[in-house]
A and B are shown apart, each in its own frame.
Chain A
Amino acid sequence: MTAVPLAIPGWLQSLADQFYLNFIKDDRYMYLVRGLKITLEVTVLALILGVVLGVIIAIIRSTHDKTIEETKPGFGRFILKFLNAIAKIYLTVIRGTPVVVQLMIIYFVIFASSNNKVMVASIAFGINSGAYVAEIIRSGIMSIDQGQFEAGRSLGFNYFQTMIYIIIPQAFKNVLPALGNEFIVLIKETSVSGYVGLQELTKAGDIIRSRTYTAFMPLIAVALIYLVIVMIFSKLVSILERRLRNSER
């Protein structure tokens, strides 16, 4: 009886070597850790900005569409028409141009004097996301039965109170899947931040590639990290969705 030698197959050995080279040597995994942190920062800040902008734009747009015919001529009507026009221009421009171009314009033109890349990227992606969130929320508001508005108004709530207490909570629940999807798009879109030199996750993988001259390991690692984040997030959304739905049964 001879002992089977513990020979490691050649391909496995080369994989291990590559892993060592790309992640362990010189603490290169820290690029990914720092990149991930920046990606998450930008995403969360952009998400907050996007939702705030989106809700405001959605309320302006749906208020205009629902009430403009009933509004008496005067200052209020003028303001509403003005805000609606601004909102429409915003939606058209943002949805009509690529996010990379918007990012570069905001970084190189509007905030040319700023060096805070995380802030600039957050603002750029927030403004971009806001346009899509606005249309998602508006569709949610428009999908709520007119009777809900009437019930709110008949109790004595004004238009905005009816929105805040009655319509938005219901609309939000209806559009939660679409909003979750928008978040997934957003987190992946931040991967173009390398264009303005922000070292987020994708750029981090690219830096490792340029140091080690191997593409497979760092890029697959980056892809896997995105995948895991998106999977975790999708799970959270579906849990939240179920919670909200269960509360009514």
Chain B
Amino acid sequence: MSADLTVHAEENAIAAGEVLISVSGLKKHYNGGAVKALDGVDAEIRKGEVVVIVGPSGSGKSTFLRSLNLLERPTEGTILFEGKDITSHKNDINLLRQKMGMVFQHFNLFPHLTVLDNMTLGPKKLLKMSKEDAEAKARQLLETVALADRADAYPSQLSGGQKQRIAIVRALCMSPDVMLFDEPTSALDPEMVGEVLDVMKSLAKEGMTMVVVTHEMGFAKEVGDRVIFMESGVIVEEGTPEEIFGAPKSERLQTFLAKVL
């Protein structure tokens, strides 16, 4: 009896290196198939891994990322997150999303709430944490991004880089199992890109599973465990940063790299 319980407990906890998200045959078509944003994508994200997705604009990389927490509902295909099919109506997507933090290109902080309230809204209402616990956790996370003194500021009082760092810790407040980044530095002034990437780097070092859509090739090389190159809604090539940047096999990747590097 007790042995059974242990087995179940272990089933739920996914160990580092095991598959956390498994995507197969993912398609997203618009206008009845006239536009194919995703045209059959298979991928696996393992726990503790930093997967960086690169590709030209319109390649479907953002659509792919946004499908992972069902902000885009795929036309076809399955996405298993921690063993559960998130596209199935039987699984509560809201509960699954609590474990998938997301960071957006345009930050999407809630302008009517202070930084602290932005961070504690989810934990208080969804995780039923007490106000004290939620705020203690939020302040602790604010320390890690050196913004402890801005807890009572409103988003409009922050710089772009500060907003994005807050957006990252807001997602972390929910203690997610994976963090999804949708071009987190694309809307930033160049001098602010570094501070956001630094936060992401330290997050990666702590072992957070991350899926990052970005144009920052430096970040992909330095932090990525695996790089996925997408074009025209399909994965053209994937491998370690050394393989992708050092020895690109496909012509399309070579052309792409020639343009961006």
Q: Taking the complex as formed, is A97 at the interface, i.e. its CB lies under 8 A from any CB of chain B? A: no
Q: B125-155 CB contact bits vs A (8 Å, 1 = yes)?
A: 1100000000000000000000000000011
Q: Taking the complex as formed, is A5 at the interface, i.e. its CB lies under 8 A from any CB of chain B? A: no
Interface size on B, residues (CB 8 A): 29
Kindly state the separation between the CA atoms of A157 and B123 in the bound complex, as whole angstroms. 11
Stretch at the interface among B20-28, B95-103, B229-237: B95-103
A24: shortest Cβ distance to chain B, in Å?
52
Interface of A is mostly: helix
A169 and B112 within 8 A (CB): yes
Kindly state the separation between the CA atoms of A153 and B70 in the bound complex, as whole angstroms. 10
Q: Taking the complex as formed, is B36 at the interface, i.e. its CB lies under 8 A from any CB of chain A? A: no
B122 and A248 within 8 A (CB): no
Q: Given the complex, which residues of A lie within 8 Å of B69, measured CB to CB?
A: 154
A170 and B154 within 8 A (CB): no
Residue of B nearest to A173 (CB): B112
Partner of B111 from the list A155, A157, A158, A248 (CB cut-off 8 Å) is: A248
Q: Taking the complex as formed, is B121 at the interface, i.e. its CB lies under 8 A from any CB of chain A? A: yes
A-B contact count (CB 8 A): 71
Q: Given the complex, which residues of B lie within 8 Å of A158, measured CB to CB?
A: 94
Kindly state the separation between the CA atoms of A161 and B95 in the bound complex, as whole angstroms. 13
Q: Taking the complex as formed, is B259 at the interface, i.e. its CB lies under 8 A from any CB of chain A? A: no
Kindly state the separation between the CA atoms of A169 and B69 in the bound complex, as whole angstroms. 25
B125 and A157 within 8 A (CB): yes
Stretch at the interface among A44-52, A108-116, A128-136, A143-151: A143-151
Q: Given the complex, which residues of B lie within 8 Å of A145, measured CB to CB?
A: 106, 108
Known: A155-B122, A247-B154. A150 touches B104 (CB 8 A): yes
Kindly state the separation between the CA atoms of A53 and B111 in the bound complex, as whole angstroms. 27
Q: Taking the complex as formed, is B256 at the interface, i.e. its CB lies under 8 A from any CB of chain A? A: no
Partner of B121 from the list A155, A173, A247 (CB cut-off 8 Å) is: A155
B174 and A155 within 8 A (CB): yes
B108 and A157 within 8 A (CB): no
Q: Which of A156, A165, A249 has the most CB of B within 10 A?
A: A156
Q: Taking beta carbons and an 8 Å cutoff, which residues of A are in contact with B?
A: 70, 72, 145, 147-148, 150-158, 161, 165-166, 169-170, 173, 247-249
The 5 closest A-B pairs by CB, nearest first: A156-B98, A151-B108, A154-B102, A147-B108, A155-B122
Q: 11 A-B contacts, Cβ less than 8 Å apart?
A: A70-B73, A148-B110, A150-B108, A151-B102, A155-B121, A155-B122, A156-B98, A157-B126, A166-B121, A248-B154, A248-B155
